[in-house]
Structure 1
């Protein structure tokens, strides 16, 4: 980036101070590699700002509403000139203007007003309130339209609310803000959450499409949330069909900040937060554990292990493993930017640094980014670009060990690290682990962090460059070229040592992974907007081409050298004879013809038709072309002459239907060539007397050239209303989405010789339907202003087809998972397991629990053991007795946001709630399963004298047939109500008075304190009921889900 200064032109300062000569040109961008240099030229644009300033003098004034209320933050611009100002907290302004100039005053929610400068020194300008809801401009993909002209289901995101939250990504900040959008917590530093719009339409993927400034790209943790100007969520076919095969999971459109008309403005913000886990497992200390373990082994008739017995008489270790592993983390977020512009263009340059020191030892995430958004105008031509460069890095332990799973179960009588453990083979670091004398199979997470280190870094560019040419006053052409490119590196270094009892020693090794990803977009569009009398017709037609390529390489080597205490961790420094390398490549292209037509008659009757024809190289020759479309209509009832309801300002009824596609589902299964077969030529077999290995081959994947897009047929009925002179906005949506041609594994006969005897086919169907609502109330009169927003959603998910799974088979199971099932008529991935029916209270109950044939069903049980339902009546308890015992899908979810201001104070409160679903608490299964782990302090085991309890008798699972066969099984015993309500954010701010800021030449300044995830109201016993789960088909499965952290932050925002 270079700036050129010359003396020919002058740019006035904000308040009429010294004018500095300035004109500049952004003439090159940063190139990541020679190979990408031609592609990077797509993001180059030229910006020239020139201004001529006539004789001026200070003009002062006050801006207020028609109710007499002062309006702080209103924009005052001298028409046709690069001179602007903002009103202070008292609604006052000062600007440089000459007699004959015209002042243009604008304020959100009010009609702009022009006032001529007549020579007076002071002016009072009164603005009239407008219908905020109906006149709001909404971005719907390739177009921007007024909300009152919409016929589809779109939802704007209140940036004031989303920006108040400390979040790794834009998606994470959406939780509770938009009806129909489900955001499940990611938690870990830099990790993205799971986002679903109106349920799940696929067994493979639920990720929505993200469009950033017109570029289809990933909105992950590499994007700075402070750069976002607006977000729109497109939920139905009318809004999203123009994205065709990529839109069935919904679309999120992100627009980043741009420069505003006026002199250069410098903004700065800083935020520091202290982060902690708000809840911990209440597990036993050493004394409690030793007493419980003594009873545990005695009840099962087993001798106490010698190490535990020794600790009973001389306890010297009392380790709080959660305290050792968890830590107080922090977040730091710094942003600085400069922006400005005039009639010939605008610019914004911002830089940011975000750091998250995680709440677990050895978990960190850093992001540095630079954004450059510029635009230049000359006559009918507009040229611009939006670009962000980011570098992210972090570290985390490898080894596949989950700290939140291991910490509560590790025994308190084992130290974290001690010389006494160095006698354990392959444990030179003396890490505390289980032994034959103190048996436990829990992992020492701190040993993992020290012995198996991982770090990563990602370099990324996302941007687009565009050219707009206004052909006529109603027709314009746009050329849009975009690039997303990332260069990723990850490294794992394994040192000498073990971290678990009976853990096989691993050779030291280093593994390095490198990947390159490019995503290029080229689009030509024509936008038109023509009004003839009471008729308006507008829309867009165009062509879009996108190609994506990913290359991955991996290499590793064992036998790291340690010389003088220094371990060398490059692949070439390894001495081991074992080395390996692998690589993959993925490439595909999508091209499409798109269009949307909007027709309006007298702003009363509205019709929209949109569609797209896509071609995708990933599909077989039979189905490379897909057609996607929608039709919608709206009726603004409030415009009818017969409608005379004074308290209803605007009322609109709308309906839509269309077909959308999911193309990435296929890519997730088979990469770039999912329709092709694959023969594995690597197997070897030994034959003959000499036992020589002979090469072989088998059909690993059977070709299926008929694979095609998954489709979602979407129906929506909506109602929009503005009430009480636009104080209240109400939106109600009813939707019914049927997903067809859903990809699923279909069984094949073994005679075909395939590895797993199945083939991927478009065979299943899923339905999601429900109701959404949002209500917003605004009170803008008087010194105390406030607004309240409430939204809610119901989602009913049902599997309605699974293809030909076999005779009498109407369900789909997850490979190697026995406790969930997707069955026709039930919710996807419903809990399917043994049903616990209380505890046996005595031996007679056990003896009398028989099937119709008189067989005792649980003969190994003892009084105090769990009783299970013998569902099939065969006299034994096994997987054939599984039943549906609950759903991981909530019956209702919603959020509430409250904003208030009084003079210079401001308040933001956000609440989120999810209700009516079941979570499988796998950590409680481990703790309460009576293994060689620690115990919860509030466990209440059954005894002959303590029968009023739900906890079974205490014993050791190893060697006690009653406990191992009855009390540890996957069953409804571990299902819990996951309903919760959470104070998502609470922020209190104070804007410093102008009289104080003037002395420091600061335009505005605000300080604030905020608390995030302050309180969670729930009956769930785990750390956090907001469970991300393990993939789409294991939602609600808590096996150490990273909990949402409580963050107390302090921040400052300034503008100069």
Structure 2
């Protein structure tokens, strides 16, 4: 025996070195100069002139700002000379000082300062109004345009947010307050002369700054397709996951449901994010970028980042927006930007959220009740021969632990019991449904999440700092399953000089997962009419109809046989199995850590030119631990099952430990230079740089027998090579040898080392502030084609053009109605990599389960012609804003053409490819689509506001250039997602045309226009699949989008979001497959029966109401069985319109009045309640939700329905302390 304490410590050795990195931002914060007064939002200048002409003043201002003066010569001919000495004053203050005693004034028009004559001095017909303009956080807003509606009279607010204006004394006079990014406010003055105006962020206005990851650009200079979501809009959704917040908000972004039946029902849905249709037959997930760096492939970006730390999310959709990111950008890019310190005063925000979901209702699973099941079993036993193998065969009767209902029927048929006696037992069994006891023992009433977040920030002109800590506690609906998450983030920016700045960031995610509960999928292996505990709470012997290693050799031996073996050979452990006993002895833990460190330095040697050096390090550590104590089935079964007659135990008694450790690291380096300059009517921005990226991870399993958790010792000498036969019980063992990992007959050792070197460039040119020309290019090289691959570097490039129509002279007459109109066009190429193929011999290393010798299984022969997948995209878009930007949005039309896509192709078997199939660059995908979004301020009164957001997307895709490598029923049905059909959508749906039931109650179908019976087919290979199946639609929606209505009344804010999908199909519920050949004659059937069997076809009068075919007519021909299994789920009678409109969320926010909060020295207090996943309000499926079909034929499908079709509710409290 030897200790492995050193090994255990070694698992976390990386933390000791990494923790020093976490301290770096804090050290810099402490060493940095103290915070200064916050810089004004207005530009500050320093200027000194003495007795200079006004034109000289104009020249000096233009030198130190980006503004240009516009005036008439006649206006300034008599203007007196200017004497001024201003140091670090706002531009507005300097202009006010110069024009104070003159007859001239000024106004800002974007980057122009327009000189104009002052209006006539106020008379008795005017009254002077003063006031203060603040944001929702009570911070002053400088630069707000205050205008008397219907006149040209207006002013801008000062640095402190104050304003002063003369207004007419007439009734109905009103003031408008306008600022980019804010909702326009209208004030109706009464007798007061001082007013305080609070402006709120405009969630609907197009973002003024677009973050692409490499740079930040004003929206006016963007030529590509993008959608930006700011923090306030994201905060309207209370989802824990940032990923879920995006659904329905981004045109063209679709969450592809993949609720396949073999997924574990308690797993999260395997929903790929699809942006503008699939660009590849492989991984279609977009590239995720956080603070300018792609996330390591070994990390989950959605769980490692705190949603409360998000400043904005920008989705880049076309080549012009995304090509600069290179590989995987063809799938789109999601750029996430985290928050930075901004407040001039220390600011602390606290948020607490509570989420709750009802546990799955197991009684909603569409299975027959116990009473219905007994009636069906009686029919099977006395009117058919389905159960004869167990009810008339005495050896089988004695060998197996039959279900109580089957044993009772066997007793009747074998003469051991009368029918009257059996009916007494049946009456008792009708009262038992294991689902009830299962829910009481293993399920909580609610699944809950509690999240607490605290954030601190402070900022100044030269120093910003922000940190946040989030803790989340998730109690699953399975008792014993939980997850605790902690996310700590720190960001700091320092600008010790105007030409130099540095920033640091750290994000640490720690999580601990307990997996000691019982998953509801375990119902798949339990007899329906069985008990788990007796009346005194003691374990009862149970039967698990399962051949997995978890219950290995339970089904093969009866409880009596195992008990006899234990007594005969005096084995160390009893050999009964009970589900509750297993749950009570679980000790499964998973610990994860994910650290991301960033550092950036920006140097500006002269105006307009900057050099940026960036680095990111990402560290991932995953540790899985499963400990089986001596009361667990794993230990007792393996020790007893492998015991020798001489009293030795090849598998030593004692605990067993399974560990899996995964380590990953990502390094990103970037150097880039940027030149940004405006010269007259020309604006130029050029960027060039290089990227180096390396993603690495490896994972290894470890196993220990005879493990003692107290002494940290284990049995070192175990023979894993010598087969152990025969068993004491006489049972054969397929695996022959002791598994090297306890309970794991197969295990894998994995790893990956991906490297990229890239060179990129980007340019933008603007003429007259209305014509934009953009371009980008990137050259990628990767080791994924081999360290010395001959595959060429992939140049990825784009060109774009933008035209701001509203800046043209002919648009002036429409400017009052049409405030913003820009036409965009772009074209470019992106690339993608599929890691499932290689240019060299490709194989997997394995260990032979008998000899334990290593060997490699060849996966595919070398493919020297392997190359990148390439996607060309063009996009034409229009951005608009009308009626004072109260209505705004965008329209986009795009076409994506993906070439050289890797697909499975049939090849000559002599080439050496597995199954005569090769992954070749032969496929092609085309996507054409249209996107439209509109945001409207419908009502914008002082006490009542109504805003609406609507978006619509449509996508049509088609796959070409491929050949069908498999042409059978499976390729058209259950495996259609893999065996693509040429010239059809990727998610095409084929079906057999239904022709009703024949006189025997069996299905009929149309074949080549002829009505055909199932029993007419004798050889499935003689059927032409093209004549058997017809295209009936697709599984993904052709049209989708959302409508969000936000209604605010006084301090209440109500938001309702509807999500719609149209133009797709769904398969409804269907009977079990292989029902005649295996389902009805296997003991697995004795778990639960599908509800469809209750109303099966029994007579011709049932033809229109039967839920399934006649079971009396037994089918044994394999061809007919295959057809039957295909026509019931994939017949046209079972294909439904999946279109729906769903209530995605309803939220209500109450903001406590500031007058009340001042009593408690609080800045802000909001209470939020929300409901999500509230179900469809419009659907076309009969009696079921098309997104959650209640499948009964598969236990997995049935459990998916109840596990995922659950509304979610939350309540939150958000507090601004100071």
TM-score interval, normalised by the smaller of the two chains: 0.7 to 0.9
The match for 1:205 is 283
The answer to whether the 8 A contact 1:511-1:571 is kept is no
Q: Distance in 2 between matches of 1:960 and 1:567?
A: 58
The answer to whether the 8 A contact 1:31-1:37 is kept is no
- 2:1204 partner SS: coil
- 2:282 partner SS: coil
Which residue of 806, 823, 826 maps to 1:656? 826
Q: Distance in 2 between matches of 1:312 and 1:472?
A: 91
The answer to whether the 8 A contact 2:494-2:502 is kept is yes
Asked if residue 520 in structure 1 is aligned to residue 667 in structure 2, the reply is yes
Pair 96,1052 (structure 1): closer, same or farther in 2 beyond 3 Å: same
Which residue of 351, 361, 364 maps to 2:482? 364
Offset at residue 651 of structure 1 (A): 1.3
Q: Distance in 1 between matches of 2:1181 and 2:713?
A: 46
Offset at residue 241 of structure 1 (A): 0.8
Asked if residue 941 in structure 1 is aligned to residue 1105 in structure 2, the reply is no
Offset at residue 142 of structure 1 (A): 1.3
Which residue of 784, 792, 799 maps to 1:618? 784
The match for 1:478 is 612
- 2:250 partner SS: coil
The answer to whether the 8 A contact 2:1074-2:1125 is kept is no
Q: Distance in 1 between matches of 2:283 and 2:212?
A: 23
Worse-matched range after superposition: 581-590 or 203-212: 581-590
The match for 1:555 is 702
Pair 584,111 (structure 1): closer, same or farther in 2 beyond 3 Å: closer
Pair 996,926 (structure 1): closer, same or farther in 2 beyond 3 Å: farther
| Structure with more of its chain in strand, by fraction | 1
- 1:795 partner SS: strand
The answer to whether the 8 A contact 1:184-1:1028 is kept is no
The answer to whether the 8 A contact 1:1004-1:1054 is kept is yes
Asked if residue 285 in structure 1 is aligned to residue 369 in structure 2, the reply is yes
Q: Distance in 2 between matches of 1:651 and 1:1001?
A: 45
Pair 551,680 (structure 1): closer, same or farther in 2 beyond 3 Å: closer
Offset at residue 282 of structure 1 (A): 4.2
Offset at residue 785 of structure 1 (A): 1.8
Offset at residue 460 of structure 1 (A): 0.9
Listed as ranges, the matches of 1:718-737 within 5 Å are 718-737=877-896
Listed as ranges, the matches of 1:380-779 within 5 Å are 380-396=499-515, 403=520, 407=523, 412-417=528-533, 422=541, 454-493=588-627, 496-497=632-633, 510-557=657-704, 577=720, 578=738, 579=740, 583-620=749-786, 621-643=789-811, 644-645=813-814, 646-663=816-833, 665-666=834-835, 669=836, 674-678=838-842, 699-778=858-937, 779=939
Q: Which ranges of structure 1 fall in alignment gaps of 5 or more residues?
A: 1-29, 55-65, 81-92, 100-104, 114-120, 687-691, 861-869, 1030-1035
Q: Distance in 2 between matches of 1:146 and 1:786?
A: 28
Offset at residue 227 of structure 1 (A): 1.0
Listed as ranges, the matches of 1:824-903 within 5 Å are 824-832=982-990, 834-842=992-1000, 857-859=1013-1015, 881-903=1028-1050
Asked if residue 46 in structure 1 is aligned to residue 28 in structure 2, the reply is yes
Asked if residue 314 in structure 1 is aligned to residue 428 in structure 2, the reply is yes
Q: Distance in 2 between matches of 1:939 and 1:886?
A: 31
- 2:1169 partner SS: strand
The answer to whether the 8 A contact 2:957-2:986 is kept is yes
Listed as ranges, the matches of 1:774-793 within 5 Å are 774-778=933-937, 779-793=939-953
The answer to whether the 8 A contact 2:822-2:879 is kept is yes
The match for 2:1057 is 910
The match for 2:210 is 138
Instruction: Output the TM-score relative to the length of structure 1.
Output: 0.78
Which residue of 463, 472, 490 maps to 1:345? 463
Worse-matched range after superposition: 566-575 or 1041-1050: 566-575
The match for 1:73 is 136
| Structure with more of its chain in helix, by fraction | 2
Deviations 1:864-884 (A, max 9, x none): xxxxxx899987799994554
Q: Distance in 2 between matches of 1:153 and 1:254?
A: 16
Q: Which ranges of structure 2 fall in alignment gaps of 5 or more residues?
A: 1-11, 39-128, 144-156, 164-176, 186-192, 259-264, 392-404, 410-421, 560-576, 643-650, 721-737, 742-746, 1191-1195
Pair 46,1024 (structure 1): closer, same or farther in 2 beyond 3 Å: farther
Pair 126,383 (structure 1): closer, same or farther in 2 beyond 3 Å: same
Pair 951,544 (structure 1): closer, same or farther in 2 beyond 3 Å: same
Q: CA RMSD in A?
A: 5.0
Q: Distance in 2 between matches of 1:683 and 1:464?
A: 41
Q: Distance in 2 between matches of 1:342 and 1:393?
A: 38
The answer to whether the 8 A contact 1:136-1:147 is kept is yes
Which residue of 344, 368, 386 maps to 1:262? 344
Q: What number of residue pairs does the alignment pair up?
A: 948
Deviations 1:266-296 (A, max 9, x none): 1101011211257732433322332344345
- Name the larger-Rg structure: 2
Listed as ranges, the matches of 1:166-177 within 5 Å are 166-177=238-249
Worse-matched range after superposition: 756-765 or 299-308: 299-308
Deviations 1:730-759 (A, max 9, x none): 211111111111112333433345544333
- 1:171 partner SS: helix
Offset at residue 575 of structure 1 (A): 6.7
The answer to whether the 8 A contact 1:45-1:385 is kept is no
Q: Distance in 2 between matches of 1:576 and 1:694?
A: 14
Listed as ranges, the matches of 1:294-305 within 5 Å are 294-295=378-379, 300-302=384-386
Deviations 1:178-220 (A, max 9, x none): 0111124699577774211111112220111111111211522
